[in-house]
Amino acid sequence: MMPKPLSRSTRTAISQLFARLDYKTLAPVYCYEGGDEFWQAKRGPCERLGNRIARALYDRLDPHGRSLYVGAGVAELPPLIMEALDLQREVEPYNLRRTEVTAINRASRSLPVRFHRLDAAKATGRFDHLWMVSVLNDPERFPHLAPLSYGTADPVTFDPRQFEQQRRIVRSIVDRVMPKLSLPGLVTTSTEEVVWIADWCHRKNIPYLVEREQFPTALVGDPVCFMKIGAVAARTRKPQRARS
């Protein structure tokens, strides 16, 4: 079954927001150099593929719920706007990068979406949807952990002590945000980060289901998928131990 298309007003709001973004300001956030060329190449795919994920998310979320977005940025704008406008959901995107938060909030003043320059662990209340994409395997933040995720670790230079330290940090991030998910709930994450969510579910003895369908992304490259956490998944799959 084809996902329901986004409403015309939502598609228009997304397009207008992408047109208002200050890409010159955003350039150094995403690239050390060549930022202008980066956004010339990525702006269209970012909007188009983001809309596709938003359409898929529409079918998986209930109206009037709450979503917590961890490490959200430009790529998350289509699903954020869809949730706020088409489903009348409360969305809370968190991002620690001041420049990106300021640029997005300036461009989205007319929309019911406001980014918070805070640690997502400071979010209050419970959420029935958690978005965490390219947070736990960020190669800049976790240079000794990410290569193992992608199978590119160099056995000559690999530092197991640095890896263990970064693994503890990643697990602490998961341990601080996953309890904010009400059960049953939905997690949107990348295929490379599924193992960390699965590990948490195993440690808490919570059933989960990883949906088979995957969605390409424009900025990072890792496909996005959906995980059902809790009672909804109990009928189909019990937790299995994730590899450390």
Query: In this prediction, what percent of the chain has a pLDDT beyond 90?
Result: 70
Q: What CA–CA distance (Å, rounded) separates 175 from 9?
A: 38
Domain at 16, CATH number: 3.40.50.150
Has residue 1 been placed in a domain? no
pTM of the model: 0.89
| pLDDT band with cut points at 50, 70 and 90 for residue 236 | very low
- Whether 127 maps to a domain, the answer reads yes
Report the distance separating Cα 134 and Cα 93, nearest Å. 14
pLDDT tens column, 115-155: 999 999 999 999 999 999 999 988 778 877 766 766 766 67
Q: From CA 96, how far away is CA 100, in angstroms rounded?
A: 9
Is 18 among the domain residues? yes
pLDDT at position 155, please? 74
Measure CA 145 to chain center.
Answer: 19
| pLDDT at residue 44 greater than cutoff 80 | yes
Residue-number span of the structural domain to which 202 is assigned: 8-234
Neighbours of 4 (CB within 10 A): 11
Contact 18, 218 (CB under 8 A): no
Answer whether residue 62 is part of any domain: yes
Q: Which of 144, 137, 132 is nearest to 177 (CA)?
A: 132
**Would residue 2 count as lying in a domain?**
no
Query: Does the residue 242 lie in any domain?
Result: no
State the Cα angle at 146 between 140 and 150, rounded to 5°: 130
Q: Is residue 241 part of a domain?
A: no
**pLDDT per position as a tens digit, 185-202:** 999 999 999 999 999 999
CA distance 77 to 101: 12
pLDDT tens for 84-120 read 999 999 999 999 999 999 999 999 999 999 999 999 9
- Asked whether residue 48 is domain-assigned, the answer is yes
Write a three-state SS string for the chain.
CCCCCCCHHHHHHHHHHHHHCCHHHHHHHHCCCCHHHHHHHHHHHHHHHHHHHHHHHHCCCCCCCEEEEECCCHHHHHHHHHHHHHCCCEEEEECCCHHHHHHHHHHCCCCCCCCECCCHHHCCCCEEEEEECCCCCCCCCCCCCHHHHHCCCCCCCCCHHHHHHHHHHHHHHHHHHHHHEEEEEEEEEECCCHHHHHHHHHHHCCCEEECCCCECCCCCCCCEEEEEECHHHHCCCCCCCCCC
pLDDT computed for residue 1 by the predictor? 52
Contact of 194 with 225, CB cutoff 8 Å? yes
Question: What's the total number of domains in the chain?
Answer: 1
